[in-house]
Chain A
Amino acid sequence: MDGFLNQVLAGLASGGIYASLALALVMIYQATHLVNFAQGELAMFSTYLAWAMVRAGFPYLLAFVATLAVSFVAGAAIERIVIRRLAHAPVLSIVITFIALMLIFNSLAGFLFGTDIQTFPSPFVDSDAFPRPYMSAHELGILVVTLLVVLLLYAFFRFTSLGLALRAVADNPSSSRLVGIRVGWMLALGWGLSAAVGAIAGMLVAPIVFLEPNMMAGVQLYAFAAALVGGIDNPAGAVLGGFIVGVLENLLGAYWIGTELKLTVALVLIVLVLIVKPSGLLGRTAVSRV
């Protein structure tokens, strides 16, 4: 029974990471109806920045905060410089651009930081003073950080006028302009936020999977599955989906299919959701009159 509980808690911990990255995906999807395939690679690149700063002697917390700031600015810059120009381009051009960005950041990381596997520190260290029988300190840390991120984002979107403006832009860009909202800046802000949230996911997962240019490939796949399970247009759904996918992956891996097929779980989930319930658990079903 303890083993089972262990697996569930470990699943919740990795679920927190999937939830964060899924949240980043959903934020961009809500505002632009685009799925950012480069989200994972941006997060990986951010993690390398944090790693470089820690290696240069910065304290972890400072490196963490600086990485969030740089990721935010970089995300906003990508929107303003690249994505903005594709506003009226065909969907295929945009998809190709996302895939290009993904590969560019992947090879750029390899070029700048090398392709060797690096260890990445966790700020959460196991100590005997607080024995945790079922989880490591880092797993518990992941859960706490994820919940904190979710709460902060919820408060931002729910209670601030900037958050309200972002929701307005996602709901109706044209009406947003008519009430004086600078829609372009809001989209850049959304990209910046999403890059920062992605960076958190990257820094949380790096101590587990180790840092290398392809470290987010699997995570991104799980995050896609999470976003789809929860409903690609619903942030709460993305979080729920993240935890579901994390627990499912761990339990199936431990008791049924073994580690070789773990990643397949994500793909099977993606296909299943798309066939059975494309709107996901909490998503809105799109109805259009013809």
Chain B
Amino acid sequence: MTLLAVRGLHAGYGQGDVLQGIDLEVAPGGVTSVLGANGAGKTTFLRAICGLVKRTGEIHFAGRRIDTLATEDIARLGIAHVPDGRGTFTSLTVEENLRLGAYVRRDPGVPRDMAQMYEYFPRLFERRTQQAGTLSGGEQQMLAISRALMSRPKLLVLDEPSFGLAPLVTQEIFRIMRNINETEKLAILIVEQNAQLALELSNHACVIETGSVVAQGTPDFLRTDEALRRAYLGY
């Protein structure tokens, strides 16, 4: 049983494909990380899953084919994407950002989930009436993740959550991600420049180079392969 299955995915921005046929599976409840150098196609891969770039190939999610669907319909099926740059609604308040996360939900559990987010990230509660654009980078990342969680997704897609953040803030965010993964059994697909950090959180990982998957397996497998580690993981 797989939650997300990607087969032969090609995608790009008009002039040639960035992705050259990606195959990947994400198990329910698992954390899968996508590693690779700058420009390897990691962000494009995530954007292709959510229909933010033109793509060909097959993507199945929770038993449905989604590569022909529009971004908003993919989101409605339960994929919550935290894009690179965080995608904050900067002119809206923190609370409005969270309400938008639950935009497609019609169940009465929204206020309870919002309280849960404020519990995960007390700083968001302090700033709930503030314009989101006035938040620090770390707070905006917390807000972006919380907004994604507010949709009660089946799969959380994170694009470089540590980008531009202080190490302490990054650690706090990763600690909460692990907590949510363990308690809620929420599947996570994560692209991360900090390979060490990502591997600690993951139970499956793949390495992308120039638009193709060059290696995948358990974090231990990737860590022990000397050549892989030096070439792609950077330590």
Taking Cβ atoms with an 8 Å cutoff, the residues of A that contact B are 161, 164-165, 167-168, 171-172, 174-183
Contacts and interface: CB of A to CB of B under 8 A. Distances in A.
A174 B91 contact: no
Given A178-B75, A180-B72, 10 more contacts: A161-B103, A164-B103, A167-B92, A168-B89, A172-B90, A175-B83, A175-B87, A175-B89, A177-B70, A180-B151
Interface of B: 50, 52, 70-73, 75-76, 80-81, 83, 87-92, 96, 99-101, 103-104, 147, 151
Contacts of A161: 99, 103
Contacts of A177: 52, 70-72, 75
A179 B92 contact: no
Contacts of A167: 89, 91-92, 96
Contact of B72 (A164, A171, A182): A182
B100 A174 contact: no
B213 to A, nearest CB: 24
A23 to B, nearest CB: 18
A181 B73 CA distance: 9
Given A164-B99, A179-B104, A181-B103, A171 B91 contact: yes
Determine chain A's interface SS by DSSP, over half rule.
Answer: helix
A38 B92 CA distance: 30
A168 B147 CA distance: 13
Contacts of B90: 171-172
B91 A178 contact: no
A99 B232 CA distance: 55
Contacts of B89: 167-168, 171-172, 175
Contact of A180 (B75, B92, B96): B75
A32 to B, nearest CB: 16
A177 B70 CA distance: 9
A268 B111 CA distance: 51
B103 to A, nearest CB: 5
B99 A180 contact: no
B52 to A, nearest CB: 7
B71 A171 contact: no
Given A180-B103, A181-B103, A174 B87 contact: yes
Contact of A178 (B87, B92, B99): B87
A178 B81 contact: yes
Contacts of A175: 83, 87-89
B52 A168 contact: no
The CB with the most chain A CB atoms within 10 A, among B76, B80, B88, B100, is that of: B100
B51 to A, nearest CB: 8
A179 B101 contact: yes
A174 B50 CA distance: 11
The CB with the most chain B CB atoms within 10 A, among A161, A164, A168, A178, is that of: A178
A30 to B, nearest CB: 10
A171 B83 contact: no
Q: Which 10 A-B pairs have the closest CB atoms?
A: A175-B87, A180-B104, A177-B71, A180-B75, A171-B89, A180-B76, A177-B72, A171-B91, A178-B81, A179-B103
A156 B91 CA distance: 17
Given A180-B72, A182-B72, A165 B83 contact: no
A140 B73 CA distance: 48
A171 B92 contact: yes
Given A177-B72, A178-B50, A179-B75, A168 B83 contact: no
Contact of A179 (B52, B70, B147): B147
